[in-house]
């Protein structure tokens, strides 16, 4: 049997999903062990092995692919415990990571502090050299400066060096010579050149990306060694691949060269996971949501393509790395409800895993979204996680009563309902930001739900947005691990070449495209992808002459010549119109960047009948519990289904609560729900599902 395993290591839980090659899938969820991540992976592997009747060693021998999403890079940025970095830059430009772009992200916060700079000024050292915008050498590099600066680096214990010179993407020679010399003088150091990490115009963006790479690089390197050693010692012989910020996967070598591609590893799998499920219904316009303990991630997928943006700010550091456009807000089961100016607020602060919601009885006294769901009867009153995790419902009641109900003069039920509704409103706003505000009507999309807390809020959220169909897989709580499992290999390459379109030297463009494509194919070949499974997409990033931001435009996969200019300009106008509702066909445009994406298709995983464990129907009516629904305005007994006993292919009309082992689904009155044999719940408005 050739197994494939997706592994997503988050801050709270380590999720594993196993596909057996015949359309059956198993999941394991274990508490993370931040000090030593493999410990949780080992526990998860044991659980999976047990599910397929093997030992851990046997399972690994029969597994040929492990796909891994990890928050190691992001956590290094969040915790500020990355490497001591040294930066070599063009003389006169050492402060670009300190000056940044000059604006505050929080404009009304008068005392909003500057973000911590990842490389101190005394280690941002100038090198005399200068290349022109054409790539001509104006001032030859003074290697003596490099030698002198490296002495400072050595004295200060620098373990990772970033090199970023002006216009290096037009002529990388100075950067390469400096990099070679640094490596010679500091053989143990990691060295990252901006032309390798992000060869694109805008010195602040490029420097920031290279510095982030240098900052997280050594940590990522150690982490990958640790994981690889671990699986090899366990007897694993197959391939280990990593989820990148672009949602695709890559081998360790590719990741280590450009560690910044790992910063959004994890959440970037959301769209892939969503598509994995929705394609069983031939749906490829989806909104994915992933609501966990502390945060809510949402992403839009149009025509089967996740929204990938060329650059973004991650924890206030600019990264020019293609990244799946996931909108993240502080809304999760642990989000804390509080009062400001006599009005209720929920989040963004979270009780996290420790101390957690009040009902966890781990010292948390503040009311959270989970507590509100307990008070309303949506969640089991004795234990969560299918009985594995005991809770105290009384503590939830007290927390809501003392902190919200009493100060606002509400009864506890109203207060809990308000918390539930308000967090829904916050999440609806986050979805509007990536849909309506970008010109996409959410009513044209299907919602695919992930995360342990998603099922309790999905239907209300969908109703608020006018979404008519919601898919909740039994695998919802391991959403990103599924995304990793279903991902293809993907590499993005880009290079800047700035010219008015009519002045473009197309030989140069063709050479640049060919160079990037060759590199991509080489990389995929090294990762074991055969040529017939390689897809290449080319793009040009163009803009009107007076614009600041360029628009990525897909262009044909062939050589270009001057005669192609009108065709390229038309493609640009069309794309501009699609994105911004208008274009100016009288105006000309300029080329800024060339880009290529190479994708290596992996064999597709598909869920079959009985894909996810289920124990069949139990005779007799389900038990009930008192639940409060706003639609009824009162407490009523509502049937409670154990997820393992829910009948397939039989539509059921809400109200109902379905308690899956790792998630709870709230079926609001008026909502129809049916479980497909492949383990995906489908929710639709009552009356639509033939019910």
Partner 1 sequence: MKSNLDPITVKVLWDRFVSIVDEATVAQHRTAFSTVVREANDFACSLLDTRAGTLANSQYGLPSFVSTQAITLQHMLKVFPLESLHPRDVLVTNDPWIGTGQAMDITILSPIFRGGDPIAFAGSVAHSPELGGAQRWNRSVDVYEEALRIPPMKLYDAGRPNQTLHDTIRHNSRLPDLTIGDLEAQLAAVHLTTTRLLEVMDEYEMEDLEDLVAQIYGRSEAAMREAIEAMPNGVYEAEVWSDSFPDPLAEGDQLASEPIRIHVTVSVDGRDLLVDFGGSSPQQPGSFNSVWTFSTAYAAYALRTILVPLLPNNAGFYRPLSIQCPEGTVVNARFPAPTLSRHVIGHQVCDAIFASLAPVIPEKVLAASGSCPVWDLLLMGDDESGRAYHRLILVNGGGGASAHQDGYTVAFPGNFSNTPVEVMESVMPLLWECKEVVIDSAGGGRRRGGFGQRMACTGLRDIGYSLINGRVKFPPPGLLGGRPGRVGRVVIDGSELLPGSDGRLGAGERLILETPGGGGIGPPLEREPSYVIKDVQEGLISLGHAEDVYGMIIDPTTWSWIPKPPRLR
Residue (of 477, 41, 430) closest to 293 by Cα position: 477
Is the separation of the CB atoms in 236 and 60 below 8 Å? Answer: yes
Distance, CA of 509 to CA of 515 (rounded, Å) = 10
155 binds partner 1 (CB under 8 A): no
Q: Candidates 341, 566, 619, 634: give the one binding partner 1 (CB under 8 A).
A: 341
Report the residue number, 201 or 666, with the smaller CB distance to partner 1: 201
187 binds partner 1 (CB under 8 A): no
Rg (alpha carbons) of the chain, rounded to whole number:
26
Taking the complex as a whole, how short is the minimal distance between the CB of residue 608 and partner 1, in angstroms?
42
Q: What is the dihedral of CA 250, 253, 255, 256, to 10 degrees?
A: 170
Report the residue number, 13 or 153, with the smaller CB distance to partner 1: 153
* Neighbouring residues of 325: CB distance < 8 A, sequence distance ≥ 6: 299, 300, 306, 307, 308, 309, 312, 434
408 binds partner 1 (CB under 8 A): yes
Distance, CA of 381 to CA of 591 (rounded, Å) = 60
Q: Candidates 35, 113, 233, 531: give the one binding partner 1 (CB under 8 A).
A: 113
Kindly indicate which of the ranges 47-55, 203-211, 265-273, 646-654 contains the residues binding partner 1, using the contact rule CB under 8 A. 203-211
Write the binding mask 567 to 606 for partner 1: x where contact by CB under 8 A, - elsewhere.
------------xxxx-x----------------------
Residue (of 297, 392, 292) closest to 332 by Cα position: 292
* Neighbouring residues of 182: CB distance < 8 A, sequence distance ≥ 6: 88, 146, 150, 153, 161, 163, 189, 191
Where would I find the H helices in 316-411? 369-375, 393-400, 406-408
Write the binding mask 529 to 568 for partner 1: x where contact by CB under 8 A, - elsewhere.
-----------------xxxx-------------------
Helix axes 203-233, 38-51, angle to 10 degrees: 50
Q: Candidates 142, 176, 177, 202: give the one binding partner 1 (CB under 8 A).
A: 202
Distance, CA of 668 to CA of 222 (rounded, Å) = 48
Taking the complex as a whole, how short is the minimal distance between the CB of residue 368 and partner 1, in angstroms?
17
Q: How far apart, in Å, are the Cα atoms of 518 and each of 5, 536, 538, 558? A: 30, 10, 13, 14
Write the binding mask 273 to 302 for partner 1: x where contact by CB under 8 A, - elsewhere.
------------------------------
Taking the complex as a whole, how short is the minimal distance between the CB of residue 570 and partner 1, in angstroms?
19
Is the separation of the CB atoms in 533 and 600 below 8 Å? Answer: yes
425 binds partner 1 (CB under 8 A): yes
Quick one: which H or E segment has residue 612? none
Report the residue number, 486 or 671, with the smaller CB distance to partner 1: 671
Taking the complex as a whole, how short is the minimal distance between the CB of residue 133 and partner 1, in angstroms?
5
Is the separation of the CB atoms in 210 and 197 below 8 Å? Answer: yes
Q: Candidates 54, 93, 601, 636: give the one binding partner 1 (CB under 8 A).
A: 93
Kindly indicate which of the ranges 75-83, 101-109, 286-294, 485-493 contains the residues binding partner 1, using the contact rule CB under 8 A. 101-109
Q: Candidates 35, 53, 122, 188: give the one binding partner 1 (CB under 8 A).
A: 122
Distance, CA of 370 to CA of 360 (rounded, Å) = 10
Question: Number of residues in contact with partner 1, rule: CB under 8 A?
Answer: 65
Q: Candidates 303, 340, 563, 619: give the one binding partner 1 (CB under 8 A).
A: 340
DSSP, collapsed to helix, strand or coil, labels residue 296 as strand
Kindly indicate which of the ranges 33-41, 199-207, 380-388, 449-457 contains the residues binding partner 1, using the contact rule CB under 8 A. 199-207
Taking the complex as a whole, how short is the minimal distance between the CB of residue 67 and partner 1, in angstroms?
36
Distance, CA of 467 to CA of 515 (rounded, Å) = 44
670 binds partner 1 (CB under 8 A): no
Q: Candidates 121, 226, 316, 514: give the one binding partner 1 (CB under 8 A).
A: 121
Report the residue number, 580 or 632, with the smaller CB distance to partner 1: 580
Q: Candidates 33, 50, 311, 414: give the one binding partner 1 (CB under 8 A).
A: 414
Q: Secondary structure of the chain: what % helix, strand, coil (to 5)? A: 35, 30, 35
Q: How far apart, in Å, are the Cα atoms of 647 and each of 26, 386, 617, 677? A: 19, 18, 6, 9
167 binds partner 1 (CB under 8 A): yes
Taking the complex as a whole, how short is the minimal distance between the CB of residue 271 and partner 1, in angstroms?
22
Is the separation of the CB atoms in 266 and 10 below 8 Å? Answer: yes
Q: How far apart, in Å, are the Cα atoms of 555 and each of 271, 385, 539, 588, 595? A: 24, 49, 5, 17, 10
Report the residue number, 93 or 506, with the smaller CB distance to partner 1: 93
95 binds partner 1 (CB under 8 A): yes
20 binds partner 1 (CB under 8 A): no
328 binds partner 1 (CB under 8 A): no
C-alpha distance across the termini of the chain, in Å? 41
Which residues are near partner 1 by CB under 8 A? 91-96, 98-104, 107-111, 113-114, 120-122, 132-133, 138, 166-167, 201-205, 340-345, 408, 410, 414, 418, 421-422, 425, 429, 432, 436-439, 498, 500, 503, 546-549, 579-582, 584, 630
């Amino acid at each position: 049997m050739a197994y494939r395993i997706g592994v997503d290591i988050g801050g709270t839980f380590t999720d594993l999903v196993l596909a057996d090659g015949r359309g059956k899938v198993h999941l394991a969820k274990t508490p993370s062990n931040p000090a030593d991540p493999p410990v949780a992976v080992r526990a998860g592997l044991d659980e999976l092995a047990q599910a397929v009747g093997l030992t851990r060693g046997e399972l690994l021998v029969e597994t040929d692919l492990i796909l891994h999403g990890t928050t190691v890079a992001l956590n290094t940025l969040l915790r500020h415990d990355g490497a001591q970095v040294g930066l070599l830059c063009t003389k006169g430009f050492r402060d670009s990571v300190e000056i940044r772009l000059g604006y505050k992200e929080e404009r009304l916060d008068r005392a909003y502090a500057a973000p911590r700079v990842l490389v101190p000024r005394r280690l941002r050292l100038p090198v005399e050299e200068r290349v022109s915008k054409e790539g001509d050498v104006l001032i030859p590099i003074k290697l003596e400066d490099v030698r002198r600066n490296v002495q400072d680096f050595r004295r200060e214990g620098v373990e990772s060096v970033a090199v970023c010179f002006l216009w290096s993407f037009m002529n990388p020679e100075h950067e390469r010579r400096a990099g070679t010399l640094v490596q010679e003088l500091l053989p143990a150091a990691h060295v990252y050149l901006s032309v390798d990490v992000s060869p694109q115009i805008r010195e602040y963006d490029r420097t920031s990306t290279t510095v982030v790479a240098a900052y997280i690089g050594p940590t990522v390197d150690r982490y990958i060694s640790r994981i690889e050693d671990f699986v090899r010692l366990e007897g694993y012989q197959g391939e280990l691949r990593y989820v990148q910020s672009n949602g695709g996967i890559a081998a360790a070598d590719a990741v280590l060269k450009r560690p910044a591609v790992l910063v959004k590893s994890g959440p970037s799998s959301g769209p892939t996971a969503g598509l994995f499920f929705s394609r069983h219904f031939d749906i490829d316009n989806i909104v994915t949501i992933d609501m966990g303990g502390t945060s809510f991630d949402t992403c839009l997928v149009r025509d089967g393509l996740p929204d990938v943006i060329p650059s973004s700010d991650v924890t206030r550091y600019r990264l020019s790395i293609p990244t799946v456009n996931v909108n993240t807000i502080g809304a999760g089961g642990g989000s804390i409800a509080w009062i400001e100016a006599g009005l209720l607020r929920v989040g963004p602060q979270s009780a996290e895993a420790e101390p957690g919601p009040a009902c966890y009885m781990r010292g948390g006294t503040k009311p959270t979204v989970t507590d509100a769901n307990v008070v309303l009867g949506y969640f089991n009153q004795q234990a969560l996680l299918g009985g594995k995790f005991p809770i105290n419902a009384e503590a939830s009641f007290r927390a809501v009563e003392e902190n919200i109900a009493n100060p606002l003069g509400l009864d506890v039920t109203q207060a809990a309902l308000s918390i539930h509704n308000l967090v829904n409103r916050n999440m609806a706003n986050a979805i509007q930001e990536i849909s309506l505000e970008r010109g996409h009507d959410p009513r044209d999309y299907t919602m695919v739900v992930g995360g342990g807390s998603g099922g309790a809020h999905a239907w209300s959220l969908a109703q608020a947005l006018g979404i008519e169909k919601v898919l909740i897989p039994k695998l919802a709580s391991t959403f990103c691990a599924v995304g990793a499992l279903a991902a293809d290999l993907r590499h993005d390459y880009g290079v800047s070449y700035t010219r008015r379109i009519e002045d473009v030297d197309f030989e140069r463009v063709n050479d640049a495209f060919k160079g990037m494509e060759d590199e991509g194919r080489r990389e995929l070949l090294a990762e074991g992808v055969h040529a017939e499974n390689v897809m290449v997409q080319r793009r040009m990033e163009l803009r009107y002459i007076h614009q600041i931001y360029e628009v990525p435009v897909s262009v044909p996969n062939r050589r270009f010549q001057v005669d192609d200019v009108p065709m390229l300009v038309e493609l640009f106008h069309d794309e501009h119109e699609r994105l911004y509702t208008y274009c100016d066909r009288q105006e000309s445009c300029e080329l800024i960047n060339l880009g290529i994406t190479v994708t290596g298709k992996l064999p597709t995983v598909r869920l079959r009948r009985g894909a996810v464990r289920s124990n069949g129907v139990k005779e007799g009516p389900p038990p009930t519990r008192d639940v409060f629904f706003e639609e009824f305005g009162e407490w009523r007994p509502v049937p409670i289904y154990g997820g393992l006993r829910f009948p397939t292919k039989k539509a059921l009309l809400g109200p109902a609560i379905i308690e899956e082992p790792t998630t709870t689904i709230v079926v609001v009155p008026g909502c129809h729900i049916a479980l497909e044999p492949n383990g995906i719940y489908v929710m639709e408005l009552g009356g639509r599902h033939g019910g």
